[in-house]
Amino acid sequence: MMEVQAFGDSESLEKAAKQLDGLEGVSAVRLLDAARPGHSVLAAVAAPRAVETTLRDLAQLGVRAEDTTVTRMDIVQWTVTKPWETKVAWADVLGQAWLAAKPVANYVAFMVVAGVIAGYGVLDRNVILIVGAMAISPDLLPTMAAAVGIVGRRWRLVGAAAWTFALGMAVACASAALLTFVLHQLDVLPAGFTLASASSALGGLTTVGNETVLVALAAGLGGMLALETAASSAVGVAVSVTTIPAAAYLGVAAGIGNLSAAWGALGVLGTNFGMMIAGALIALGIQRSLRARTAS
């Protein structure tokens, strides 16, 4: 459930309270006097399916978006006979997407660490290190944010998310490349290391095949569902299986000066990103279709 609060002039909010009180999915509507004369605070509990309608009605009555807040409420389901609301509020998903599309310092730092660990994983042909890098990488967030922006036709969000994803991949690649370059100059690369052996040991990182496409598509489906639930950190590991290994391989190839081998990994990385977006769009499309059918 969600709690919607709005601050504004008393006359507008009184009209809004009367309108919301009869809206399906909205309950506990209350209007309180604010400290500022002539202003009030409107509060209501809304089911996720009713949040968009509630916000739209408030906007039509002149309530400013910056004066409106939506808070997620944890409801204790104390009896199985009570109706269980499972739908996700689009406003909440959109808000999370905007946050995920910002290249904050922590995001960049995590991508640096992920690039270093994954770089060692490629050099040592060590799957455990690759999985560790996937656990650290937060690239799930901007990828899913881009899909949300496409569905919501928020093109500025799409651009911001795509830029953040590209920045993260570039940082991971550069970290792996710098690591490899230093080790190469010090002549301490693992004995017998070749790019071909690394690609083979880690499942093929330079060739786009049906497995590449289907895994990335499934990762996008799971990633979108994860963004809407508390499972995002765990599912992020599975999503990163399509990005971090290819990005690290690209960086390692650049670090030893074999740029010709890097183009294949770049193609894999681009294909994975596109298919993850497609998977996320499918998940969102199905959800919105089911929600429309339920509403009708």
* pLDDT tens profile 159-206: 999 999 999 999 999 999 999 999 999 989 888 888 888 877 776 666
Q: Which of 157, 168, 158 is nearest to 239 (CA)?
A: 168
pTM: predicted TM-score of the whole model, two decimal places = 0.71
Among 14-18, 195-199, 259-263, 287-291, the range with the most confident prediction by mean pLDDT is 14-18
Per DSSP (E only), the strands in the chain are 2-9, 26-33, 39-46, 68-72
Confidence of residue 110 (pLDDT cuts 50, 70, 90): very high
* pLDDT tens profile 56-89: 888 887 888 888 888 877 665 555 555 545 456 6
pLDDT-above-70 percentage for the chain? 84
pLDDT-above-90 percentage for the chain? 19
Least confident range of 120-124, 133-137, 201-205: 201-205
Asked whether the predicted pLDDT for residue 231 surpasses 60, the reply is no
- Joined together, the tokens standing for residue 161 give 């998310």
Longest dimension (CA), the chain: 78
How far is residue 62 from each of residues 46, 52, 66, 108, 190, measured CA to CA in Å? 20, 16, 12, 39, 66
pLDDT score of 84: 47
Distance CA 279, CA 219 (A): 7
Asked whether the predicted pLDDT for residue 96 surpasses 50, the reply is yes
Least confident range of 38-52, 202-216, 223-237, 244-258: 223-237
CB-based contacts of 242, cutoff 8 Å, min separation 6 = 212, 215, 216, 219, 272, 275, 276
pLDDT score of 204: 64
Backbone angles phi, psi at 247, to 5 degrees: -65, -40
pLDDT score of 98: 81
Distance CA 142, CA 102 (A): 8
